[in-house]
Amino acid sequence: MKEQGEGAITAVFSALKIPMFTPAELSFLAEYVKTMSPFAKAVDVLQGEASVQMGWLVPTVTLLKTKLQHLRISSKLCGPLVDALLAGLEKRFGQMLTDPELIAAAILVPRFKTCWTEDECILKLGLDYIKSHLKEQPVVQQGETSPSSEEDDFFSLIKQSHSQENAKQLESYLSCPAETMDVLKSFPALCNMSLRLNTPLPASAACERLFSTAGLIFTSKRGSLDSKNFENQLLLKLNRRFW
């Protein structure tokens, strides 16, 4: 079958009088595809909107850099391309890869936790962020006086117990083998933090798709649509899979 396919392609090129690719060109194209494949997959992952949260950003970019570095070792023709991709990732995401909040968001995605990198310093940044925000902070309402030192001393045992309980939740979460988001329901403190950190999307592709769809609806011949009608049509078109 493969030989028949190659023969058909050769016949088409001959009929159109188009020169065939040389072996060197075919080798380059094969290596180019191999090099760009992980990059294209990473872009598809980050541009999703159904099951992707902000916590996917750091693991995805980190693993992409690792794959490109492995390809750089065996690359014969696309070495400069790999170097350019790595330089671009460092320039665009370098600071984000060491951002404690983004690292914490990745750890609070059950699919990743701490298995997406072997860099203990990076993981420590995220874990320290989570631990510091799990501690209860005293809240003083406006118009109220701050509690006296005696009251602080008297209720300190309660604060310590809550802090210890939250620390136990983190340990239990990290040792839990489940990888679905539902597992966070068993750890209320971590669930609340994950909702805060992972509600945003890591890319603007979903927003761009929204504006693109809106442009198809609000054309020059439909300029008299009122805002309510336009909003209803946009929502129906974007959610047509549900009806």
Write the pLDDT tens digit of every residue in 110-145.
999 999 999 999 999 999 999 988 875 343 334 444
Residues 131 and 209 grouped into a single domain: no
Q: Are residues 110 and 25 in the same domain?
A: yes
Same domain, 96 and 189: yes
As a whole number, mean pLDDT of residues 15-32 equals: 84
pLDDT band at 3 (very low <50, low <70, confident <90, very high): low
Per-residue confidence (pLDDT) for residue 91, from 0 to 100: 95
Same domain, 130 and 210: no
Cβ–Cβ < 8 Å for 105, 197: yes
Residue 212's pLDDT band, with cuts at 50, 70 and 90, is confident
Asked if residue 149 has pLDDT above 80, the reply is no
In the chain, how many domains are there?
2
Give the model's confidence band at 108: pLDDT under 50 very low, under 70 low, under 90 confident, else very high: very high
Q: Hey, CA dihedral for 151, 152, 156, 160, is it positive or negative?
A: positive
Inside any domain, residue 84: yes
The better pLDDT of the pair 62, 49 is held by 62
Q: Are residues 128 and 217 in the same domain?
A: no
Compute the average pLDDT of residues 50-57.
88
Q: Is 225 left (phi over 0), alpha (psi -120 to 50) or beta?
A: beta
Question: Residue 147: inside a domain, yes or no?
Answer: no
Indicate whether 131 and 214 sit together in one domain: no
Residues 57 and 120 in one domain: yes
- Report the distance separating Cα 81 and Cα 72, nearest Å: 9
Q: Does residue 100 have a pLDDT over 70?
A: yes
**pLDDT at residue number 143:** 44
- Inside any domain, residue 146: no
- Domain co-membership, 172 together with 232: no
Residue 141 is predicted with a pLDDT of 39
| Residue 224: domain span | 205-242
Q: Same structural domain for residues 60 and 95?
A: yes
Two structure tokens written together for 76: 């014969």
Q: Is the same domain home to 220 and 180?
A: no
223: in domain = yes
Q: Which of 25-29, 54-58, 102-106 has the lowest mean pLDDT?
A: 25-29
What rounded mean pLDDT belongs to the chain?
Answer: 82
233 within a domain of the structure (yes/no): yes
149: in domain? no
Token digits of residue 36: 């760009």
Count of CB atoms situated within 10 Å of the CB of 85: 20
